[in-house]
Amino acid sequence: MEVLFPEEFQIVASLPMAGAYDLSGTMIDLILSMEPYSQAFYFAFILLAYIEYYQLDELNEFFTEYYADILPDLFDDTHSGRYINNFLPSVAINILNLEVLEEFINDENHPFRQIAQANDLYNWMPLTELHMFHGLADELVLFSNSQITYDSFLVLKMSTWKQSPNGMEVIAVLQSPVYLELIL
């Protein structure tokens, strides 16, 4: 909005909450850790959304037969994540068929990894003041998503340069402040 519609919207600050800003890093690492994930529905939700949006293939190409059959009914907008979790394994990645699982683990260029990277949301610099809020105990979206995003903003802020109007010198561009606030 601040880039595409600056005349229509005067943004003075933004206050984003927890988000999966680092899908290709934090979230994939979480899923590939093979540790139990208390919110397994979230992994299934993201995969279903990307399979549909990017028109990757039929569900049975990615999920075991059981999950390919039940996931569409579970994600019909009438069931809560808590309800859906009752039907999923605690190690969320076990909903994938073995071939896809092995490819996902071993292939750094797997389509799921490429899509996750294309949907990372931290490689940009806010033009107005930004306060990010994220709870340290968040089990759905790990806090490190916000930390990586915040760190990226700091790096971009320090390494954003442009040429002066007269073309004679390079000057640093100072952006609005960015804050990361923890909710304990």
pLDDT tens, residue by residue, 17-30:
888 999 999 999 99
**Cα–Cα nearest to 88, from 103, 74, 102:** 74
What percent of the chain clears pLDDT 70, i.e. is strictly above it?
85
Q: What is the pLDDT, as a whole number, of residue 154?
A: 77
Which is more confident, 150 or 167?
Answer: 150
Q: What is the pLDDT, as a whole number, of residue 172?
A: 37
User: What is the pLDDT confidence band of residue 97, given thresholds at 50, 70 and 90?
Assistant: very high
What percent of the chain clears pLDDT 90, i.e. is strictly above it?
53
Task: Give the residue extent of every domain in the chain.
Answer: 13-19+123-183, 23-118
**Cα–Cα nearest to 141, from 56, 6, 19, 44:** 19
Which is more confident, 175 or 169?
Answer: 175
Q: What is the pLDDT, as a whole number, of residue 170?
A: 38
On the question of pLDDT at 164 being above 60, the answer is no
Q: What is the pLDDT of residues 65-95, one digit of tens each?
A: 999 999 999 999 999 999 999 999 999 999 9
On the question of pLDDT at 103 being above 60, the answer is yes
Give pTM, 2 decimals.
Answer: 0.77
Q: What is the pLDDT, as a whole number, of residue 167?
A: 46
| Domain 23-118 annotated CATH 3.30.530.20 | no
Average pLDDT, the chain: 84
**Cα–Cα nearest to 48, from 38, 62, 28, 64:** 62
On the question of pLDDT at 147 being above 70, the answer is yes
* Angle formed at CA 119 by CA 32 and CA 155, multiple of 5 degrees: 95
Q: CA–CA separation, 1 vs 13, rounded Å? A: 12
Q: What is the pLDDT, as a whole number, of residue 174?
A: 38
DSSP state letter for 63: B
